[in-house]
Structure 1
């Protein structure tokens, strides 16, 4: 394998912006030197033209198989956030696929519908001949038509499951949206993607992530979840076949309706699934839901539209009484624990359970929309990693219409406290949660720096959202490179320095020259282990 020499590059080394430092030499898949001038005869020379060369991004919280499958089905994620656009696309997809027993897909945004709630009656206008089921962008809700409700036997007499809710009209009739665990009622009767479909989904997900410069990730759910078969064998197959070119950690799914009896099964899965570039060394615990549908666990109750306290404080999917024992057992078995913690009570329950655990495991809590001020310093004190999804920290329609009114002024003013966490000494890593939101790290970094979305209309792209919580460009890029590689236990990745793995990304510009246009930057080329793949 010939050496590769990168010339005329400006360098972000995973921690700091170095500017132009001279040649970067790569040999046998690793960075050898920065700033030297010796070139081996026959070396490949890459002229970077004064743009930015940085480590490959690592997405610390993503769902590539689901994202890939959605791209291969009825994908609404790239459409305008608009009811009519969604219905037209679903109708066209159904017409183009008359052989499908169900119309499946997802990617719709709650902000496209009054109160965040589409209806079965709407969906019936474009799919009347068979069931249709479409998960929303955050995968915490599902839009179904009347045929799907009937197929699942959902009527006004169907009780809400303990971990979910059936949306109903004033007369008690189901209206076509299922929240959280209520989705399982439909998922249990839908066609399940088979092994080859899952494999195709993984490869499409990987292709899409690589195009964004993502060279490694942590899959935040590996297991049977939301109607999908366990994706561990999918990763094992791709690793054995050499089709998995990214470096991946899988977070095995903790089945919240079960207890410690599943621990030996997780240990067996870790051994059975881990191979080559895939390691099943983390465990995902979803502690609460999301704020938009009232299932994120809050210390104080949600408000109604008039600003009065309700009786709803969200859901704790795992009892906080047993959570510490679960976490201690996982920690003792050498697993990293990866929490979904979105509401301030959900975050607190996760932190409480992590007291006394081994910092070397690099346990983490993801999402962190609300962190109680008393809990902000606990991340550093407990050495718990703060896994941020920066793209959500802006004034988009979902935030304005479906979140802020139900949190109230005080809580709404402390959402996504990235700056406070950083100032309190927390270690930050970053992920996209794709297909919940775009996997483009540069768009997420743009929001982290500006607290505005790049190129979005309205307040989302023009009015900073709690700007005191913004991060510097160096800190945001570090979270998405060296930070996220570190939380995946890749201590020799996410950096451009001698000895580091040569997973590299070349951009079409230097965002440090154009900080207002970070989100406009695009990936030009990608290398993994020094080999160009894009």
Structure 2
């Protein structure tokens, strides 16, 4: 037998199916794993590269099942506010950026948090005081709202008489004038005046994001929004094709094509055409999923709930959020999309949105029969008890963003007081879903939150985050925690399944692609609250190292 190209020796290993780490060597040849265990060492030869793992943990590369890398990368190259911790720091960074880029007509970027501002709503006046009469448009961290300056409002013609769109809301002052915050679809009111993301900027953003993700051990992902809404549409997909053609796309990527909110059954053919136009090496790049955004977010009262939101005094209002699709229209679309071979990727945050997404999958199965589908529901902030067993029954994956499953200011201050307690009790019910047999995938939703999988895994295991108030216990109680093995499996084998690559990625087994991450310590040997103290030393894709820690 030919010598291995690469051997990891003397380390520990984790892969799906294990409950903890084990001692094991791993050998790689021609980009694939050829031996796991004692036989691996025997494949060494004079040209074999040997990595002395010295008790550190080798695991499958993380696969992020819900992320927006191009968008995140573009923001890294613009006015990026992710390092700020409060409103004052955010405004200081905006001012620094404006002074450093005097020739830019618009100041664009994002990364601010709603919790930094009263009621979650910053004002145009605060921007005006920093940048004067320059137009500014900055997405918040969850990308469900846009903070704009007075100049931006004027250029877009947004005034007190501008009506709220059906899928969004203009935040207003007492006199009805826009205050500087555009929620959800109201951001589209800037279409036509907001500078477009150029093809070159999208491409550079993708490469910047890819490098960042590789540094966290991420070897593949599903881009959860190619086209439409508040991104750069086709240019984002084109960035992937360009990188693949140039040999610069190292990650394995599935793209989820955006389903417009006004879609009809005739829209399915257009998505099929895009999928055909975007053909590439399917082992590296495929556009086989469709993103369906069911609702907004709870913080701005646009998540679709089964019960009305509460006012500041605990009384029911007449609003229960925004459902972006008529349920019957959605069912018909799901039938046609599934029949056309697409996997459905739902943004479903409120419990009503979750129910309607599952109803759509059930309708598709009733018409199309049992198929090899990889449908998934992402976010799942609130899930009705009756819906929990439906995930396993319908074969739909629960795609969790576990970094959110904790008490923290945005949740405790902008969500909990305005939602019925019985719904809050159903928040991120990971443990319930696992006990009901649901299949898990995991993602970061970066740039909404950090792309670091280990930070998310730690919260999945503890249900406590760094932002939790002192003394806060695990969100939902200990019963909603996942084991470390379950959380890591969701972020590897589970996400490989939704990307249709489970037969060659997401596990360390002979014959699988050598998509691997080496950590500087074994998280199974750490206290749960220190899981994310582990750091990635190296990342390999197809046996080729794409990241090495300094």
Which TM bucket (shorter chain)?
over 0.9
Q: Is the 2:79–2:110 Cα contact (8 Å) retained in structure 1?
A: yes
Could you say which residue in structure 2 is the equivalent of 1:10? 12
Q: Please report the RMSD computed on the Cα atoms of aligned residues, expressed in angstroms.
A: 1.3
Q: Does structure 1 residue 490 correspond to structure 2 residue 501?
A: yes
Provide the secondary structure at the position in 2 that maps to 1:53.
strand
Q: Is the 1:64–1:202 Cα contact (8 Å) retained in structure 2?
A: yes
Cα offset for 1:31? 1.1
Cα separation, 2, equivalents of 1:18 and 1:470? 16
Out of 141, 147, 153, the position equivalent to 2:151 is 147
Q: Is the 1:58–1:215 Cα contact (8 Å) retained in structure 2?
A: yes
Q: For 1:123-522, list aligned pairs within 5 A.
A: 123-230=127-234, 231-276=236-281, 277-355=284-362, 356-357=364-365, 358-453=370-465, 455-456=466-467, 458-459=469-470, 463-467=473-477, 468-491=479-502, 492-514=504-526, 515-522=528-535
Provide the secondary structure at the position in 2 that maps to 1:129.
coil
Q: Is the 1:15–1:482 Cα contact (8 Å) retained in structure 2?
A: no
Cα separation, 1, equivalents of 2:315 and 2:519? 49
Cα separation, 2, equivalents of 1:78 and 1:149? 27
The CA deviation string for residues 82-103 of structure 1, in whole angstroms up to 9 with x for no partner, is 1111100001101100000100
Could you say which residue in structure 1 is the equivalent of 2:76? 71
The CA deviation string for residues 128-152 of structure 1, in whole angstroms up to 9 with x for no partner, is 1310010000000011111111011
Provide the secondary structure at the position in 1 that maps to 2:211.
helix
Provide the secondary structure at the position in 2 that maps to 1:142.
strand
Cα offset for 1:41? 1.3
Could you say which residue in structure 1 is the equivalent of 2:537? 524
The CA deviation string for residues 319-363 of structure 1, in whole angstroms up to 9 with x for no partner, is 112111000000000000111100000000000000143451111
Give the count of matched residue pairs.
531
Cα offset for 1:21? 3.1
Provide the secondary structure at the position in 1 that maps to 2:51.
strand
Cα separation, 2, equivalents of 1:449 and 1:165? 36
Cα separation, 1, equivalents of 2:485 and 2:93? 40
Q: For 1:98-113, list aligned pairs within 5 A.
A: 98-113=102-117
Q: Is the 1:297–1:314 Cα contact (8 Å) retained in structure 2?
A: yes
Provide the secondary structure at the position in 1 that maps to 2:413.
helix
CA spacing shift, 1:119–1:20, aligned 2, 3 Å: same
Q: Is the 2:392–2:439 Cα contact (8 Å) retained in structure 1?
A: yes
Cα separation, 1, equivalents of 2:371 and 2:427? 26
Q: Is the 1:303–1:309 Cα contact (8 Å) retained in structure 2?
A: yes
Provide the secondary structure at the position in 1 that maps to 2:130.
coil
Provide the secondary structure at the position in 2 that maps to 1:161.
coil
The CA deviation string for residues 275-294 of structure 1, in whole angstroms up to 9 with x for no partner, is 12210000001011100000
The CA deviation string for residues 249-300 of structure 1, in whole angstroms up to 9 with x for no partner, is 0000001123122211111111111212210000001011100000010011
Out of 27, 30, 33, the position equivalent to 2:32 is 30
The CA deviation string for residues 370-420 of structure 1, in whole angstroms up to 9 with x for no partner, is 111111111111111111110001111001100000113221121001110
> Which shifted more, 19-28 or 424-433?
19-28
Cα offset for 1:463? 2.9
Provide the secondary structure at the position in 2 that maps to 1:160.
coil
Cα offset for 1:229? 3.2
> Which shifted more, 346-355 or 35-44?
35-44
Cα separation, 2, equivalents of 1:23 and 1:216? 23
Cα offset for 1:70? 0.5
The CA deviation string for residues 40-74 of structure 1, in whole angstroms up to 9 with x for no partner, is 31211100110110000000000000000001100
Out of 52, 57, 63, the position equivalent to 2:62 is 57
Cα separation, 2, equivalents of 1:301 and 1:413? 15
Cα separation, 2, equivalents of 1:369 and 1:187? 30
Which stretches in structure 2 are left out of the alignment for 5+ residues? none
The CA deviation string for residues 488-518 of structure 1, in whole angstroms up to 9 with x for no partner, is 0002100011111110000011000003311
Cα offset for 1:2? 5.2
TM-score for both structures, normalised by structure 1: 0.97
Cα offset for 1:227? 4.9
